[in-house]
Amino acid sequence: MERLRKLCFYLAFMFSTITGSTLATPSTCPTDHPLQVPLSSPLHRDTSPWSHPPLCITDKTQPSFKYCVYASSTLNAGHGISFITRSNTEKDILPFLTTTCSPLTDLARRDLAPNTSSSAPYIIRNLPTKNHGRGVFARRHIQRGETFMISFPAVVIDQTLESDDASEHLSDADRFKLFKAAFEQLPVPERALSCAASWGEGNLHENIMRTNAFGVKIAGGRYSGLFPETALMNHDCAPNAVIRFSKTTLATEAVAIRDVEPGEELTISYIPIDLPIKERLSLLESHFNFQCTCKLCSAPPDKQRYSDLRRERIGSVRSLIKKVKETSNVDDLAAELFALVEEEGLQLKLKEYDNELWIVYYQLGDVDSAIKYAEAALKEAEELGGVQGGEDDEVQVAIRRNLGIMRRLQAQKAEL
């Protein structure tokens, strides 16, 4: 379970906007406010803004704390959301009840039923292979950097309840009771239950979270979020899409990392994409219970071996780049690095590599080259790491700040 928790943290890292503890600012939406409860309803006095009385169970290690299920039936176009979190953090999630007023909502509503929406750029299809179930396929050409899917969470759970020491806080029976309530209190539980896999003994709801949820950070706390539409996307070791997370709307966005042609399956990577094949297969089988049959993993043994060698060389080149003392050597190594990235389909790593390169060039005094790679890193971050609404992740903020410094140095140098 500890390895799974770390894997969830990796997935959280893949969401480029998870950092920061600033709470969402409640918006005003008089005609469609999610907190509206009829005054005649007995729920108005007892449970508002929640749709059900919160189910709470005391933490065994800290009796002053309770873990509670907080459910709202009005969010997500009436599909609802359930949180399992400590009672003292309820105040942190209340601002997110206004997210139905977000401009993302219309797209999210479309993505709740993409097969019936002519505007959806993708369609969900059953796959002939038994282990995969369903998949997401492009309906039309999808451009690199295009957001083609938006999904709000159905269930959000404090990761403490999924950690190795979860039983120290709650008994398994109590934990499963909260999990079950979180699913059952959704107005459309089928949306979340559709993520169920045939694999795994034990609690159904826990298995759904283990195999489908993404790690996210909300108001400084670590949670696992179940995004049913996003969970439909299958794994590929050379994916054509990436998932990013908005800390103010709680929505995930699926973004194309290269051009995708009509009929092509839209895929993401469930694991770090630069691992050698044995590590990839081991992680996928142990944590997700399937053997990857993507193009990379089903290639002949000699091609798999050459792929691993190229990935190993990428690591070596990155290490060498950080040690060289001459910019001409960096130029040669950078050219080799990008050729290897293209050959291995690791374009998702370009932001990271460009970010490393501008720092090296700057340290060597080549400000012009440093600006070139910083601009490339910023472009990658903006296209694949930003979210609709103008949010910046920490990478973008840092690169912009350093670009400003370097451009001033460049201007001063030109004046000499």
CA distance 179 to 158: 11
pLDDT-based confidence at residue 364 (cuts at 50, 70, 90): very high
Q: Into how many domains does the chain fold?
A: 2
CA distance 150 to 253: 5
CATH number of the structural domain spanning residue 318: 1.25.40
Considering the domain boundaries, does residue 274 fall inside one?
no
Burial call 5-41: b when 16+ CB within 10 Å, e when fewer: bebbeebbebbbbbeeeebbeeeebeeebbeebeeee
Considering the domain boundaries, does residue 294 fall inside one?
no
Chain mean pLDDT for the chain? 82
Give the H/E segment covering residue 68: strand 66-72
For residue 221 the two structure tokens come to 């706390």
End-to-end CA distance of the chain: 60
Residues 355 and 404 occupy one common structural domain: yes
Considering the domain boundaries, does residue 292 fall inside one?
no
Considering the domain boundaries, does residue 410 fall inside one?
yes
Considering the domain boundaries, does residue 347 fall inside one?
yes
E strands in 227-362: 234-235, 241-245, 252-256, 267-268
pLDDT-based confidence at residue 74 (cuts at 50, 70, 90): confident
Of the candidates 202, 205, 198, the one whose C-alpha atom is nearest the C-alpha of residue 179 is 205
What DSSP line would sit under 174-241, residue for residue?
Answer: HHHHHHHHHHHTSSSHHHHHTT--S--SS-HHHHHHHHH-EEEEETTEEEEEE-HHHHTSEE-SS-SE
For residue 51 the two structure tokens come to 């749709």
CATH number of the structural domain spanning residue 204: 2.170.270.10
Residues 65 and 152 occupy one common structural domain: yes
Range in 125-134, 186-195, 311-320 with the lowest mean pLDDT: 125-134
Considering the domain boundaries, does residue 357 fall inside one?
yes
CA distance 17 to 287: 25
**Whole domain around residue 411: which residue ranges?**
301-415
Q: What is the pLDDT of residues 218-229, one digit of tens each?
A: 888 899 999 998
Q: What is the pLDDT of residues 275-314, one digit of tens each?
A: 999 999 999 988 888 889 999 999 999 999 999 999 999 9
Range in 150-164, 201-215, 278-292 with the lowest mean pLDDT: 201-215
- Tell how far CA 98 is from the center of its chain: 21
Considering the domain boundaries, does residue 280 fall inside one?
no
Contacts of residue 239, Cβ cutoff 8 Å, sequence gap at least 6 = 257, 267, 268, 269, 273, 348
Q: What is the pLDDT of residues 304-347, one digit of tens each?
A: 999 999 999 999 999 999 998 888 899 999 999 999 999 998 98
| Parallel, antiparallel or unpaired: strands 66-72 and 81-86 | antiparallel
CA distance 274 to 312: 9
Last residue of a domain, one of 247, 268, 289: 268
Note the pTM of the prediction, 2 decimals. 0.77
